[in-house]
Every structure is written in C-alpha cells, then in structure tokens.
Amino acid sequence: MTDAARPTPTTGADLLDRPDGGDAAPPAPPTTMGAQERLAVGLLLVSAFVVILNETTMGVALPNVMADFAIPASTAQWVTTVFLLTMAVVIPITGFVMQRLGTRATFLTAMSLFTLGTLVCALAPVFPVLLGGRVIQASGTAVMMPLLMTTVMAVTPPTARGKTMGNISVVIAVAPAMGPTFSGFVLSVLPWRGLFVIMLPIAAIALTLGALRLPALTSPRPARVDLLSILVAALAFGGLVYGLTELGESAAHGGGGAGGTAIALLPVVVGVVALGLFVWRQLRLQRRDAALLDLRTFGTRTFSVAILLMAVSMGALFGTIILLPLYAQDVLGLAPLQAGLILLPGGLLMGLAAPFVGRAFDRFGARVLVVPGTVLVSAAAWGFAMLSAASPVWMLVACHVVLSGGLAMMFTPLFTSALGSLPPHLYPHGSATIGTVQQVSGAAGTALFVTVMTIQAAALTSSGATEVEATAGGTHAAFLVGAGIMLLTIPIAFAVRAARPVPSEPSLPAAH
C-alpha cells in the first residue's frame, strides 16, 4: 500500500522523511502516535531536560571554580559565556545536521558530545580544559532542542500537540530555572566537580538507551551546506551573544569608562552587521532552496508574532534567574542554597502547570492563554520592581511564582502556534530559529538587567548609599525597566492565534 493510500498513518516521520519533489500528494498529518513514536519523544524529553538543566548550573559554582583554579571572576564567568556562545553558533546549522544524519544518528551524536564534554569537565586539571569541555557539552545541547521540537511536530497528531509541547515547555523553561537550585544542593555536600560527576551517569544512560531503543524515525538524505552561511552565522549569533554578555560583565565590573564600554560594544556591532549579511545571504539561497536557515518561516504572521513574544519572555526569564539569587545573597544576606531555593517553587509550578496548559491549548487555542500569561508576567515584573532592602523573602518567592505561572501559560501556546503555522518541511528551520532566538534573547536579557542594575548601583554608591542599599536600588531599576518592556507585550499577545497545520509543499525540500 502506498503512502498516499494509507487512511490513518501510524507514524508522522514521513513528514520529515519524504523525498523531495515528485507528484505524490503530501502526507496527511499523523492521527495517532505509535509505541515507537512515544518512546522516541519520551527519550528525547528526558535527555533534553538533562542537557538544558546543565546550562544554568555553573552560575552558583563560580566562586568554587575561582578558588580551585585561582582565577578572577572575569575569567571564571567564561564557563557560562562559552556555553551560550557555542549554542548560538551551532543551533543555526541543526536543520542541515538533522537532514544529513537522520533522527537516530543526530540524537546519538548530540548525546555522545554531551557525555564526552561532561567527562572532560569532571576531570579537567586546568581551567582551559574545563572551557573545552563546556564547548563540547554545548555542541550536543544545541542540537537536542531543535531535534526534540522537530520530532514532536512530525509524529504528534495536531489535536494533541498542545499537550506534548507542554512537556517540552517543562524542558525549555523549568530546566534553566531549576539549574541554580540543583547546583546549590550539590555544592552544599560536594565540590563543583560533583555537578558533572552526577550528570555523567545520567547522560551515559540516556545515550545507551538511545543506542539500544531509539527508532530511526527518519533516514539520512543528501544535503548541501553553504560554508559562507555557517561563517557569517557564527559571526552574527556568536558576536551578539558574546557582545551582550561582555556588556553585562563590563557593567558589573565598573565598565572601565567609555573605552571599556566601546570595547564591549564592538562584538555587538560586528554581530549586527554579520546578521544583516546572513539574512541577505539566506534570502538569496532560499530562492533555490539552499538556505542554511530558511527565513520563509517569518512569512507566517503567527510565527513572527510568537517569536517576538518568546524573545521578550526568555529575556525576562534569564534576567530574573540572574538577578534574584544576587539580590537574595547581597541584599537579604541569604546563603547560596537558600538563594537557589527561592527559584524552586516557581520552577515546580511551571512543571506541574505545563500539561494542563497544553490540554487547554488543544481545547481553547492560544490567545485565551497567552493574553493572561503576559498580564501575569508583567504583574510579576512590577512586583519585583517594588523590592527593597527591607522586603521579606516571601515577597520574592510570591513574585517568582506569579512570573512562572505567567510564563507557563505563554511558552506552550507560543511554541505550538509558531511551529504549527509552518509547513512540515520548515519544522527543522523553525525549531532552529526558536533555539537561536532563545540564546540571543537570554543573553540580551541578562546583559540588560545586569547593566541597568550596575549603573544605578554605582550612582547610588557615589551619592553615599551603603553597598546593600545600592544593590537594592540597582535591582529595583533593572526590574523597573523589565516591567516596562513586559507591559508592551500585552497588546502584542492579542495577535497570537493557534495556527492550523499547514500541508507540506511537494515542490520544496525538507531542509538544508
């Protein structure tokens, strides 16, 4: 029986695995998920949670790393910066990687890299080796999220995508929020290497299960890659993430005057120029379906609006993750573990709410969730802006819980609507775009919050305020700016719609 004759496909993999061109009608979206598809999605979810959790664990561990290797904070922070930088460079090429290797080989490659990088970090005798391990880890992490989202969109029936994408939002939003808490628990009983020692067997088990049980949902296909696009993408996204991170670090260390600010801005300028060249190059290449990152995804209004809201939300999330532990320790005098625990209730709420949000999306659509979600996030940001040196701890926890609830209502509908508005052959490109936007906006949010906080704290210090008062005032200013930005997202949220699945186009290839 031919694909066109199947009344009810048992797998959605042929949406990604279909040969290019031809006169056959495009395959219908899957109506059921078989055992193989459920196994694949479950394994990918668990693996993605592990690798994304690892992204934010090192922030709390920086003092330990500094003491162990006898390095300053400006050097130690590279364990986080190099991770974000590598992610931003690798994610744009994941569409090509998934087509060239297929689902199974892509997963095994990603988890092998992550496992190897974790081992290198655990055994690193000197700091440069630790950085090398983080680069290897990030290379595997960068591939995992686009692979997960692309696979889910291919094998999940449209009527159940909200529920499944709700589980993905646990990975994307909860894992980074849980990172500092996990790190605080581990560091209370083990040295910083314990973070990698605990992660290593989990990664190895996931890799082994994938090698033994993960089905080959798609087959490798010949794919061309434009080397110039890879180079320009590295300069664009790498320059933006590096520059924005350095801008925040420069502000955190006093800025070094106008010259220091100019030096920190230079990578941002290079990144912006390279981004313009990258867009121009992709627009030319996609005329013959050879783009590294197909920008026709932005031709869909739903995708563009969802990406905009996701960018602002991820910036708010990462900025908050950075500032709240800092405020808790430097202003309220809490221990690192206590500071990490502040983020735990909100992280748990996001995890518990995600399945319910997914079911609500399947039933009611995106707008009824995203609009109140933006209102809650904005309200939480204004609550953070009211913090002072005398604020009780419960106020921090309450504001973060409200923020987490609002983000939980936003992420699942935005991810599902964005990818669901695209034809299946653009799923890999849409997933890669979402991943890239997350890294760049996360770095931008961190840089913005830290820069505003530091500038205001310096001004208060020069006027005679104590260090605690200056830090509290700086935090207030940073959250005030964030609250203003989030307020602007509320009217944008009304433009979000739950897109109906778009049929694949026989004349276009699956991915490049």
The predicted pLDDT at position 115 comes to 94
- pLDDT, position 13: 44
pLDDT on residue 273: 92
Which range has the worst mean pLDDT, 19-23, 101-105, 200-204? 19-23
Check whether 22 has a pLDDT greater than 60: no
Residue 512 has pLDDT above 50, yes or no: no
111, 142 Cβ separation under 8 angstroms = no
- Which DSSP symbol is given to 434? H
pLDDT band of residue 372 (cuts 50, 70, 90) is very high
Cα dist. 155→62, 194, 357 in Å? 41, 37, 20
Residues 453-465: tens digit of each pLDDT: 878 888 888 888 8
Mean pLDDT on 102-111: 87
Q: Please give the share of the chain, as a percent, with pLDDT higher than 70.
A: 82
* pLDDT band with cut points at 50, 70 and 90 for residue 277: very high
Four-point Cα dihedral 405, 164, 148, 77, nearest 10: 10
d(CA 201, CA 195): 11
pLDDT(510) > 60: no
Q: Which residue has the higher pLDDT, 257 or 416?
A: 416
Mean pLDDT of the chain: 78
Q: How many CB atoms lie within 10 A of CB 70?
A: 8
Identify the three-state secondary structure at position 228.
helix
For the segment 396-446, what is each residue's pLDDT rounded down to a tens digit?
889 889 988 888 888 888 888 888 888 877 877 887 788 778 777 877 787
pLDDT 10s digits, 142-164: 888 788 877 877 777 776 667 77
Higher-pLDDT residue of 348, 276: 276
% of the chain at pLDDT higher than 90: 10
Provide the pLDDT for residue 437. Answer: 82
Contact (Cβ atoms closer than 8 angstroms) between residue 241 and residue 272: no
Ranking 61-70, 173-182, 231-240 by mean pLDDT, the lowest is: 173-182
What is the mean predicted confidence (pLDDT) over 367-387?
A: 88
How many C-alpha atoms does 39 have within 13 Å on its Cβ side? 14
Q: Note the pLDDT of residue 331.
A: 83
pTM value > 0.85: no
Question: Per-residue pLDDT tens for 62-85?
Answer: 778 888 898 876 677 788 778 877
Check pLDDT > 70 for residue 508.
no
Band of the pLDDT at 4, cuts 50, 70, 90? Answer: very low
Q: How big is the CA angle at 244 (ends 238 and 250), to the nearest 5 degrees?
A: 125
How many Cβ atoms from other residues are within 10 Å of residue 351's Cβ?
22
Q: Give the HSE-up count for residue 55: Cα atoms under 13 Å, Cβ half-sphere.
A: 32
Q: How confident is the model at residue 336 (pLDDT cuts 50, 70, 90)?
A: low
Return the pLDDT at 252: 56
Residues ≥6 apart with Cβ < 8 Å to 55:
83, 84, 87, 141, 175, 176, 179
pLDDT grade for 502, boundaries at 50, 70 and 90? very low
Q: What integer pLDDT is reported at residue 249 of this predicted model?
A: 62
Rounded average pLDDT over 48-54: 83
Question: Within 10 Å of residue 175's Cβ, how many Cβ atoms?
Answer: 23
Res. 126: pLDDT tops 90: yes
Contacts of residue 31, Cβ cutoff 8 Å, sequence gap at least 6? 8, 9, 157
Quickly count: other Cβ atoms within 10 Å of residue 497's Cβ.
17
Cβ-based burial of 363 (10 A; exposed 0-12, middle 13-18, buried ≥19): exposed
Helix axes 58-69, 301-330, angle to 10 degrees: 50
CB 90 within 8 A of CB 134: no
Whole-number pLDDT of residue 170: 67
| Residue of 246, 286, 213, 242 whose CA lies nearest to 42 | 213
